[in-house]
Each structure stands twice: as C-alpha cells, then as structure tokens.
Amino acid sequence: MRIRKVRLIGFRNYEEAIVGFRPGLNILIGNNGQGKTNLLESVYFLSTTKSHRRASDEEMMMNGKEYFQLDCITENDDGSSRFSAVIHKKGKTFCVRGEPVKKMSDYVGKLNAVIFSPLDMGMFDSSPTDRRRFLDIELGKMSKIYITFLNQYSNLLKNRNIALKKEVPDRVLIDAISEQMVGPQTEIIRQRYHFIQQLNRTVSEYYRKLSGTGGKITLAYESMVAYHADDSILRGLIQNRIANTLERDLITRMTNTGIQREDMEFFLDGHPVKAYASQGQKRMIVIALKLSLVNLIKERTGEYPVLLLDDVLSELDESRRNALIELLPEGVQTIITATEKEAIDPRLWNKAKIIKIEKGSAAEWMNSTTSN
Ligand SMILES: Nc1ncnc2c1ncn2[C@@H]1O[C@H](COP(=O)(O)OP(=O)(O)O)[C@@H](O)[C@H]1O
Ligand SMILES: [Mg+2]
C-alpha cells in the first residue's frame, strides 16, 4: 500500500493543503511547530480513525473551525483507492471510494500505517494501558474478528460491572454474563499470544542491526491464564480464573480479572527493559519493534503498511541513522520528519522526496534529483 496524495482541510494548522508522496522514502523537513507531526497524524488518523497523540476529534479541528476533512488516494498492485474522513463536532463519516462505511471494523485495516513517535517511549512506563492499546490497535489492523470480539467483550464487561454494583447483585445474571465472556476472551488471548510470539521472532535481529551491538529482546505476555494451545483447555482455564475471582469481584464490586487487565513486558538479555535499558536503547527497542510489526503486517495481510517515523532522526547518531535507513524494506513507503539542522546524508536525497513544511503548508523541495 502506498499513499499518492493526502488532502487536509481545517486540520490542525492546515487550512487547506494537498501533499503528494512518492512510493519509497519521503522526508518532511521543517522547523519546530510548522506541522510535520500534524501531517503524520492526519495519515495515522485516516488509517486508524484515531490520533496517535490521543487527541480528541475537536482538538484536531483548526482553531475556530467546525469540522475537518481528510482525503487520501492510495495505490497498490490492484489499482488505486480513496479514503476520506469528515469530522464534525456532532458526528463523523468515514468513506472508502466515496462510500460511507457503517461499522469502523469495515474501515480499519484497509489503509494500514505504523507510526513511531516519541510518545511510544511511554511503552515502558509503569501503566499497562499503552501496551494493551498497542496490542489492540495493531491486532485490529490484521484481524477484523479481533475488533468484533474486543467490542463484544467490552460491552459484557460494562454490563457485568453494572450488575456487580447493584445493591443485591443478581448472581444468576453475573454467571450468565461471565459465561458469555469466555468465548471472546479465548480468541483475544490466542491472538495476543501468537502476535507476541511472532514479534519475538524478528525483533532481536532488527535491534542488533540498528544498535550495532548484540542483545536479545524478548516480549513476555502477562496473560490472565497460562496459555494453552488446546481450545477447550484454554476455555477451562479462563472459566476457572473467572470463578476463582468471583468472591473478590462481589466484595470490590468490579471485575478483577480478564483481558482488560493483561500486560506484556520487555526484556533485554533477560533484564526488564524498564529499569535496565538506557534511553537510547529503549528508543532502538521501540524502533525494532515497529520494524518487526511492519513485516508481520506484510506477512499477514499481504501488504506493507505505510511507515511513519516522527522525530527519530534527531534522536539517533549518524551511524544509527544510516542503519535505520538501510533497514527500511525496499517496498515500504516511509514518511519521516527531520529539521533542517540535521545533516541528512546527501546520498539519501537521490532516493527520497523532500517536502518542506512551513506554517501548515507543504512544498516539494528542489533536490539533487530534480535540479540536475
Ligand atoms: N487545532 C489546531 N488549530 C490550529 N493550529 C494548531 C492546532 N493544533 C495544533 N496547532 C499548531 O500546530 C503547530 C504544531 O505542529 P506540529 O505538527 O506538532 O509541529 P512540528 O513540525 O514541530 O512537528 C503549532 O504551531 C500549533 O499551534
Ligand atoms: Mg513534531
């Protein structure tokens, strides 16, 4: 999947802009506060219907505007396609080829993008929220059924918590809801387990190439139950776990176990990354993770996602920067931000389209390929 162009109307500091991209490497150059991250955010929004900065829809509307609109034209081996989003204060519409979609699960997964942003460093914080969000968003890109089960589960969880908060909780109702929760949880746990296994296959290799040093990266799944490949055994383990937690749930009047409490942990050579790795190592671990993800999405969907890299060049030294550029697979369209101060290897300029971002407008920069 490649993006040919994006149009932004009333989005952040873009009044109206059309930006064209080339299939391989695209570099957004501009000083701070000009709109580089905003442009990446618009692509990510078209891909996932959400801001990678956790911004609300209204925050993304240009100050003083009532709505924003984003469109993009994509192409792959099957031809071209069009994705649009119109977000008003009172509602939103997402369209594929001009046709509004009814369910978000019919939209998400068609235009996949993977982003690295400095915010991803929150992955190693103490709160598991960002890690679960990572699992859910990335699995949602590859599996429609995952989104469906996740929505089913979160409705059941809401109802179970309401039932637990009643003055006299209805045990029959709680048991019935608990039983319905087992199916979605079995599938979600299975998918999370395989996803983490698959990332583990490649992440150390990317880390090694990026860092220039060794180091084994391991992701450990902290599941509500010990995983078992057999479906009925896994179901049984989940049922037991729910049954064993019921007393506590009745006392605390909330659901204390389930996929909403799961987590994963990162290890570098067997040490917990959170407390052990340096800031630079953490950054390379996250980048390696994102590169593994790009490959996994290709493996599972047949198509590379668009790779969005924000503020990554400024944080890496020259050799790491070059290693990263070398690691980008040939077929992956990449959009990467940079400030003018950063010495970008002139050899790169021949491979890349340089787009100058200034005060919410974008212009193609004359580079060595176009000026010679
Ligand atoms: N809703 C909005 N309306 C208008 N301008 C906005 C809005 N949200 C952010 N901005 C502006 O966008 C700019 C930041 O853009 P950003 O893409 O983060 O910059 P950078 O190029 O450093 O990545 C700031 O000047 C900010 O004032
Ligand atoms: Mg920025």
pLDDT in tens, the chain (372 residues): 999 999 999 999 999 999 999 999 999 999 999 999 999 999 999 999 999 999 999 999 999 999 999 999 999 988 999 999 999 999 999 999 999 999 888 899 999 999 999 999 999 988 999 999 999 999 999 999 999 999 999 999 999 999 999 999 999 999 999 999 999 999 999 999 999 999 999 999 999 999 998 899 999 999 999 999 999 999 999 999 999 999 999 999 999 999 999 999 999 999 999 999 999 999 999 999 999 999 999 999 999 999 999 999 888 888 898 899 889 988 999 999 998 766 566 667 778 899 999 999 888 775 544 433
Which residue out of 6, 8, 9, 12 has the highest number of ligand 1 atoms within 8 Å of its CB and is therefore the one to mutate?
Answer: 12
Q: Which domains does the chain have, with CATH numbers?
A: 1-112+303-372 (3.40.50.300), 123-300 (1.20.1050.90)
* Dist. CA 347 → ligand 2 center (Å): 24
Give the up-direction half-sphere exposure of residue 168: CA atoms within 13 A in the CB hemisphere. Answer: 0
* Dist. CA 291 → ligand 1 center (Å): 27
Query: Which amino acid residue places its CA nearest to atom 13 of ligand 1?
Result: 33
* Dist. CA 62 → ligand 1 center (Å): 9
Q: Please name the helix (run of DSSP H) or strand (run of DSSP E) that holds residue 250, with its range, or none.
A: helix 231-252
* Dist. CA 360 → ligand 1 center (Å): 8
| 28 Cα nearest atom in ligand 1 | 21
- Taking CA 277 as the corner, what is the angle to CA 273 and CA 282, rounded to the nearest 5 degrees? 80
Q: Please name the helix (run of DSSP H) or strand (run of DSSP E) that holds residue 15, with its range, or none.
A: strand 14-20
| 32 Cα nearest atom in ligand 1 | 22
Query: Which amino acid residue places its CA nearest to atom 25 of ligand 1?
Result: 33
* Dist. CA 61 → ligand 1 center (Å): 11
- Taking CA 227 as the corner, what is the angle to CA 223 and CA 233, rounded to the nearest 5 degrees? 125
| 40 Cα nearest atom in ligand 1 | 17
| Ion ligand 2 nearby residues (CB, 5 A) | 36-37
193, exposed or middle or buried, with CB in 10 Å at 0-12, 13-18, 19+? middle
Query: Which amino acid residue places its CA nearest to atom 2 of ligand 1?
Result: 12
